[in-house]
Chain A
Amino acid sequence: MTAIALRPASIARPGIPMRRVTTPDRPDDEKGLVLAAQRGEMEAFSELVRRHQRRAYAVARAIVITHEDAEDAVQDAFLHAYRALHRFLPDQAFGAWLHRIVANASLDITRRRKVRDADELPETVASPFRDPAESAELRTRLRDALAQLPVRQRSVIVLHDVEGFKHAEIGQLLGIPEGTARSDLHYARSALRRLLETFRNPQ
Chain B
Amino acid sequence: MTTNKDHLHLVGADDGDREITSALRTLYAAPESDGYWTAFEQRIMDRIAKGEASDTFWYVPTQWTRIGLIAAGFAMIVAASLLLRQRAEERQMAYDTVLGQPSGGPTLAIRDAQTKEQATINYIIGR
Contacts and interface: CB of A to CB of B under 8 A. Distances in A.
Contacts of B28: 58, 61-62, 127, 158, 162-163
Interface stretch (A9-17, A26-34, A49-57, A167-175): A49-57
B64 to A, nearest CB: 22
A87 interface: no
- Determine the main DSSP class of A at the interface with B: helix
A173 B52 CA distance: 26
A49 B32 CA distance: 16
Interface in A50-88: 50, 53-54, 57-58, 61-62, 71, 74-75, 78-79, 82-83
Given A78-B44, A129-B32, A142-B20, A190 B27 contact: no
A42 B2 CA distance: 52
Contacts of B55: 83
B35 to A, nearest CB: 12
B20 A134 contact: no
B60 interface: no
B91 interface: no
Contacts of B6: 186, 189-190
A20 B29 CA distance: 29
A196 B37 CA distance: 34
A134 B23 contact: yes
A131 B47 contact: no
Contacts of A138: 19-20, 23
B40 interface: yes
Contacts of A192: 11, 20
Contacts of B12: 161
Contacts of A46: 41, 45
Contact of A134 (B22, B32, B44): B22
A47 B67 CA distance: 39
A162 B24 contact: yes
Given A46-B41, A54-B37, A78-B44, 4 more contacts: A127-B28, A161-B12, A186-B6, A186-B7
